[in-house]
Structure 1
Amino acid sequence: MNFNGIERMGRIQLRVHDFEKSVDYYTNVLGLDITGRDENRVYLKAWDEWDHHSVILEKSDSAGMEHMGFKVTNNEVLDTLEKKIGDFGCTIERISNKSRVGEGEAIRVHVPSGHKIEFYHDIDYVGVPTGRLNPHPWPDGLRGISPHRLDHALLSGDDIVDTKRLFKDILGFVETEKVVTVDGEQLIATWLTTTMTGHDIAIIKGPVGKLHHVGWYLESWHDILKASDILSRNEIEIDVTPTRHGITRGQTIYFFDPSGNRNEVYTGGYAVYSDFPTITWTEDKLGQGIFYHRRQLNEAFGSVFS
């Protein structure tokens, strides 16, 4: 879709402790590939991603999201976004070229939900193992769950109304779904996209500046079930066993990395266009919206953030 110049969610930087255990988990259980290192960070990508990295793991004493980033079509878009977002009232920083491995200049925005969101264009291109000439559908040597790509993140904050205004009214994202109180007067959660997927980012009312989960895309429901087997075999803590969402219609499983960051692998959903009408759920149906089969949230899903 990207009529606004914002292509997609391109990367996320996660704080992790027990660093080497976390790196082992993301490479051998989740199945990402290491593409670079610096003093305090490891850079990774999924096998079907063309850019240098989509995930950065940062050594830390705590868990959570340091920032997430959206790739834009060119550097002129960065200048346009900087002015539009500045006029909206957000604090903006310039991240200088090569501040991180493989990355060019970026702008960092402190959004009303308490998160840091970056926008960038320049990042090293490394390609995919299948290549671009007569490629096979998948490469040899895949490890673990092996998702195709980074897909989305769900964040929590107190001021989700202004955060939604920023993404929808200023940045041109489409709001695909939302949850409101039964009387319709208060916003509880919003799902937003700049691509043709059901959401690139979602924000739910909750602790300020926190991460609920980060999601990766798999090809099929069978792959979700296989992911569950891999997680159980490796004794990974599973939050929610395979099920379907009502919101976004996706099929899913949730689990935790060694630091307590919630991960998701996800498939299915629907196509989104610029004229996609927002689907509304009321708070009394939130359980069914999130977990369509059980129709209720488990305790951890509604209370554990990082």
Structure 2
Amino acid sequence: MLPITNPEPAFTLTRASHVSLGVTDLEKSRDFYRDVIGLVVTGETDDAVYLRGLEEAAHHSLVLERAAVARAHRIGLRVRADADITAAEKFFVSAGIEHQRVERAHQGPTLQFRDPVGTLMELTSSMDVVERKMQNFDEHRAGFPQRLDHYQVVTYDVQAATDFWTGLGMRISEYTATDGTDELWGTWMEVKGNTHDLVFTNGRGPRLHHFAYAVPDGASLLHAADVAGAMGFGDEIDRGPGRHGISNALFLYLRDPDQHRIELFNTHYQFIDLETPPIRWDLSNARRAQLWGMPASNRWFFEASEFPGEPVREPLLQAAPPTLEAYLALH
């Protein structure tokens, strides 16, 4: 069934904020995100690289952390103020949710927790402020990524994930359900007024499917693809360019040296007014994934980044996705 958003959550979420990835070759991954994607390197240590988009004033939206095994370490969300971190702690205690306060470089009060479907999350109320680079046009490169926008997580239980996050104030902008029912296969949820900050889709999980940066226009996606090809990463274009039905976004997906997936996208619409209902898509409607072009490949549907220490579970709902390989077999 379709959950109803809690209009008075225990604390106030404001946006998707940052992601931390474990990478096995820190320097190679830094070069990929700086030169192939176009992110700005804010700072480096022996064990971490901090990056951000061109218009971001927060110190980082991507943290690369040196690791023996490539994993998606944490997904980060911002809350409005320090008081919301305290309120979140109280809520998690009352709800029996695992959590801990941590010290994170360049961040204010920070709280880590595990949501009911095993997604490893992090909340922070502030970050160090740095110079925006949006008008430093001489420094722009590759896809010209402006800001981190959203995440997509593969989960074994979309209903449970959606129930939890709508309880914390997220609104469903669009969703996919079994034809003729509200049996949820995917939910696109937001708090900042466009179509999504956090997405859950059905599959083996919990795993991070991708994180996404907004770019200025469609030409930026094509330029990013050209740069990837010129620098030897053409085979790491995972999907696109294309246009989604859900969210109406133009998209390009790439894989980094550890096979973490990043999306560059353009053309969200507003989802602000409270009376606006979510858009529903039947599971059988292939236009939800792309309005035109070939379907995504097996690896786009089935490969994703695991979270450290979290067992991957089989999905409660079973169906074969419309993969490129299946399409070609029929045509």
- 2:166 corresponds in structure 1 to 168
Unaligned runs of 5+ in 2: 1-6, 306-331
- 1:101 corresponds in structure 2 to 105
Is 1:277 aligned to residue 281 of structure 2?
no
Relative to structure 1, the CA distance from residue 105 to residue 11 in structure 2 (aligned partners, 3 Å threshold; closer, same or farther) is: same
Separation (CA, whole Å) in 2 of partners of 1:64 and 1:247: 27
Q: Which deviations, in whole Å up to 9, do the C-alpha atoms of 1:100-156 show, x marking residues without a partner? A: 3211221112012211111111311113136xxxxxx45322232220011111011
Separation (CA, whole Å) in 2 of partners of 1:251 and 1:10: 21
Separation (CA, whole Å) in 2 of partners of 1:199 and 1:219: 18
- 1:200 corresponds in structure 2 to 197
Relative to structure 1, the CA distance from residue 64 to residue 279 in structure 2 (aligned partners, 3 Å threshold; closer, same or farther) is: farther
Separation (CA, whole Å) in 1 of partners of 2:262 and 2:191: 21
SS of the residue aligned with 1:294?
coil
Separation (CA, whole Å) in 1 of partners of 2:207 and 2:97: 18
Equivalent pair of 1:112/1:160 in contact (CA under 8 Å): no
- 1:214 corresponds in structure 2 to 211
TM-score when scaled to structure 1?
0.90
Amino acid in structure 2 at the alignment position of 1:282? D
- 1:134 corresponds in structure 2 to none
Separation (CA, whole Å) in 1 of partners of 2:35 and 2:54: 13
The one of 144, 155, 179 aligned to 2:142: 144
Aligned-pair CA distance for 1:24:
0.8
Aligned-pair CA distance for 1:185:
4.7
Equivalent pair of 2:38/2:143 in contact (CA under 8 Å): yes
- 2:94 corresponds in structure 1 to 87
Aligned-pair CA distance for 1:186:
2.3
- 1:292 corresponds in structure 2 to 291
TM-score when scaled to structure 2?
0.83
Equivalent pair of 1:179/1:187 in contact (CA under 8 Å): yes
Amino acid in structure 1 at the alignment position of 2:258? S
- 1:250 corresponds in structure 2 to 249
- 2:117 corresponds in structure 1 to 113
Amino acid in structure 2 at the alignment position of 1:301? W
Q: Which deviations, in whole Å up to 9, do the C-alpha atoms of 1:179-213 show, x marking residues without a partner? A: 11124252111111111121111011222221111
Is 1:61 aligned to residue 68 of structure 2?
yes
Relative to structure 1, the CA distance from residue 9 to residue 186 in structure 2 (aligned partners, 3 Å threshold; closer, same or farther) is: same
- 2:57 corresponds in structure 1 to 50
Amino acid in structure 1 at the alignment position of 2:112? R
Map 1:64-79 to 2 at 5 A. 64-79=71-86
Aligned-pair CA distance for 1:229:
1.3
Equivalent pair of 2:24/2:70 in contact (CA under 8 Å): yes
SS of the residue aligned with 2:137?
coil
Equivalent pair of 1:25/1:257 in contact (CA under 8 Å): yes
Higher mean C-alpha displacement, 265-274 vs 121-130: 121-130
Separation (CA, whole Å) in 1 of partners of 2:136 and 2:250: 21
Count of residue pairs the alignment pairs up: 294
Compute the RMSD of aligned alpha carbons.
Answer: 1.9
- 2:225 corresponds in structure 1 to 228
Aligned-pair CA distance for 1:23:
1.0
- 2:153 corresponds in structure 1 to 155
- 1:12 corresponds in structure 2 to 19
Equivalent pair of 1:261/1:305 in contact (CA under 8 Å): yes
Separation (CA, whole Å) in 2 of partners of 1:224 and 1:215: 12
